[in-house]
Structure 1
Amino acid sequence: MRGSIKPRASTTAKMRDVVEQHPFFVRFVELVAAQLDGPPSTVEALARQLHLSTSQLHRLLGAVGGEPPAQFRRRILLERAAYALLGSDRSILDVAVDAGYASHEAFTRAFQRAYTTTPSGWRGKPGDPRIASANNVHFHPPAGLVLPTLERDRPMDLITIMTEQHVGVVAQMLNACRGLDTATLERPITITNADTIDEDLTIHLLAARLVDELGIWNAAVANAPYRPHSCDRASIPELENLLDEHGGLFIRHVRDASAGAALGDTFVDATSGTPYFFTYAGMVAHVLTYGAHRRTLLAGALEAQGVSLQEDPLSWPPLRPDGPTLPD
């Protein structure tokens, strides 16, 4: 299991039904979470705490959670071990003991079955620490288990709309750049008394970096290699094609995470050689924050060339009210 598990709205909907109809499952998860650092309760003890017989517990957890109790706990401990291997310099044996294994060899076999790599190989090239499961309950650092968010879906998905608006404005800007000659595209933009996140600013460079940022994060989600600033030498038509690719995929990541109530979920990017942990929400906030900075600079440069843009989110159709509002 490498790469990223995509959150799905159907999984969250299923888990909402599980919690509403089988609240004992939430209690079971809470009991397991409370015992991760100590000896596990026997199945008989768990059943007594849930006011069930042992056979009822096995049967209900198999039907509702998709895993027997012992298998559920082993999976969670392996996920915790996967995080521990990345987030510390502890020995593999220490991590193995914390995960409930008596030997390095037994831990390595179990880890390799789950992640298709050895613990030492994982440290060098990690993937997604979550092991696929029907119940979508996973270990989340620093200390606990997290059920998928169970709140009712909101009628307006603002995060996705803002992301779509960002990509849409970049497309509008690239289209406007088509009408500019090379000298104008490459003319330096001067900013005084303020720092910018890019050096040697030009219209072309800002357009390229807006597209490049989307490609960088798509690669991070997939834990795939990507060369930053690879768009800098692309022509405007090439940037438009790249935006179709990178922008469309990035929107799908955001839409899936938002629909699946998984914006707080963690993914691991090890493309630079060092593993970094990010949440989907953090990724979106980063892209929209620095994207807004670059868009504002690019909008000013294009307006200086007589280009009129509709970049204000208030003019974006999904956000416009039915009644009178500010003009476009």
Structure 2
Amino acid sequence: MPKNGRDRLRELLDAVLREENTTLGDMAAGAYASPFHFARQFSRGTGESPVALRRRVLLERAAWELSTGGSVTDVAFAAGYDSVEGFSRAFSKAFGHPPSATTGEKRRRWLPAANGIHFHPPMSLWVQHEPKGRNDMDPTTLLLHHDIDDTRELLTAAGELTEEQFHRPRLPGHLVEEYRGPEESIATILAHLVESKEVWLAAIDGEDMPDTTRNALPDLVKRHEQVAVRWLDTVREIDLRGGWGDTLIDALCDPPESFVLGSVIAHVLGYSAHRRYLVRHWLRTEISATATVLGSGDPIEWLRRRG
């Protein structure tokens, strides 16, 4: 905090999240700044635009309100939406399921945010870094978010390929995890990048085996965006409750097996890194322009780009 006792970032956050401040102009006026300087100062401090952060935090609040029994209609208007339909579309896009599927759930619902700023019930913010350090810079957090963003980049780059390039076998018989079968093409490896998180989340949440058959590139992009939110949310919950050493009984295995949760996250990140660097190599050999766009896949470069 500055020596004069002011916490300017907190003032900006308060202006963004004040109920009556529904436009950028309102937010800026509440912070005694011009819209241009307010937006620039806020974005520098949080890495997120004022409007985007407000929208995200209100959706997180909406998810909590729904989980505690709030009606979709009341929650939609409280979140600033003009119609239930508009709220439902925004909510479904953000969380990967409609608002009605949230009712009765008790899990915290946080959307991905590199700045660590989230809604915390009943009516406050949770900021995931302490004055003595930056928890959002610990290696596990960085690797989790880098994995999500890097996979997104690879899926985008794969859109430049022809169908033949996308499905062409490149390493016949290549196995990453034996039980998943050969991973010989860009298509197969990208599918398994997405699938691995879906399957482990199903095991952690006690759900049935997910549908992993929709492997056309547009489907993979959609599945990745949906699973990314759940994956980060689940890992965050494990961390907040200190559950890294908890045992998971995976009933999807035959026979059921037990796993330590911390080892599951390490397992997914380790194999994901192998798959991402292999796909990156193949993409760079196919599309010359992609070599510059994708870079090396180094987390240091990724963090600098975000900075």
- TM-score, with normalisation over the residues of structure 1? 0.46
Task: Name which structure has the greater RCO, CA cutoff 8 Å, separation 6+.
Answer: 1
Bigger-Rg structure (1/2): 1
